[in-house]
Amino acid sequence: MIGLFFRSLAGRLALVLVAALLMAQVAAIAVFWADTSRVRRAAVRTQEADRVATLARVIAAVPTAAREDIIRAFATPRHRYWAGATSLVAREDMGEQERQVADNIRRLMRNSAHDPRIGLVERNVEDGLGASARVLPNALEVSVQLTDGTWLNGETALWLPKAPFVNMLRYMTVASVLSIVLVVLLAARWITRPLSALADAADRLGRGEAVELSLLSGPSEVVRTLNAFNIMQQRLSRFLADRLTMVAAISHDLRTPITAARLRAEMIEDSEVREAIVRSLTDMQHITEATLSFARDETLSEEPRTIDLNSLLEAVADDLTAVGCDVSVAADGHLPYRCRPALLRRALTNLMSNAAKYGNCARVALELTGEHARITIDDEGPGLPSDQLQKVFEPFVRLDPSRSNETGGIGLGLSIARSAVRAHGGEVTLMNMSCGLRAQVVLPRCVPDPWKAS
């Protein structure tokens, strides 16, 4: 389901926008964190200068014996102080920023001490997180010389606890992502609704239905696409109707001269010549009648409707069984299927009757797959040469030239069957099996679009 979502337009739009949002958030947080860290570290240095200056003033005001107790009282897990004979920070190690902080300490000490020094070094300093120590690249060291010449040294870590705004940024990012996904889903649904209608219309057009998209809404590009589809299907319908009408007219007009020629042929005295001519005229008559029948069926405006495909197979089998064919159907349950019933029935009748006539029997099975309904028709005949499996679908092709119209047809049955199946968006194929020939009809099932509005 997740894979289907990210293959859809909504999923891809959401992915692109969320990625852009996250990149923008990361960049903003990086800039904001850098500026905030610099300001907070400066504040920590100032606070440490105040602590050292205060401690120096207190030490100068109390007896020397109480000095160690006061120093211990000022110490914290992140601050360490001690008095010694040497300075912790060398004067030459101070930079410009350190000298500015040292001047601030000198003003705060009010002659309680002198020569303040401050340095930023790398030290293992307790950061207040427990017994473990960390290497802090910005540890702060401070040294001031008291009035008696003793050096007061201090060391603290410029470790900064996580700022409260970090959690706020997390919540804001999650809320932004959810808002974007919701808006994208709504927008994509609005944009893709006409596209879903176009996909359904194209599928129905492939099944031979006359369709026209009337709800022309959405972006201008989508509306242009829908208008182009309407114009295309109108042109296709007119083109096919004109061709079929022409074929029907030609076949109809040929009936009269063929009948007249047959009457004249009956008057020929030479029986051998007469029978040859009559046989040829009979073939022509069968061809024109079959062509006219096919053209009439195609031009009929049969409305598609939903039927039970299993019931249709059983009805065709019953009709063929009634005329002495060995036909059986193995299919359970019901399969609602939208089609042009008369056209599909004719295709199935041709395939099943061929199997029963030339393969001794027809064993029909209906199988459902994910997006297709598969109908297999097996017989027990000798099969066909592999190079003829496609050729037999061509019009007027008969593999056995000795067959007459009464025994072998005129070679339009399979052609009509394939045209009818393709008119429903399906396909029919032939394949040799170990025990005979198999005709396989694959018809598409209507699978609803999960993003289409209900």
Encode pLDDT of 5-50 as tens digits: 666 666 777 777 778 877 887 787 777 766 666 666 677 777 777 8
Sign of CA dihedral 154, 155, 159, 161: negative
Report which of residues 449 and 444 the model is more confident about.
Answer: 444
pLDDT for residue 123? 46
Residue 375 confidence class, pLDDT cut points 50, 70, 90: very high
pLDDT single digits (tens) 284-307: 777 777 776 666 665 555 678 889
pLDDT for residue 448? 39
pLDDT single digits (tens) 109-156: 766 667 777 776 654 444 443 334 444 446 778 888 887 888 888 888
Q: Is the pLDDT of residue 453 over 60?
A: no
pLDDT for residue 450? 34
pLDDT single digits (tens) 324-373: 999 999 877 788 888 888 889 989 999 999 899 888 999 999 988 878 88
pLDDT for residue 134? 42
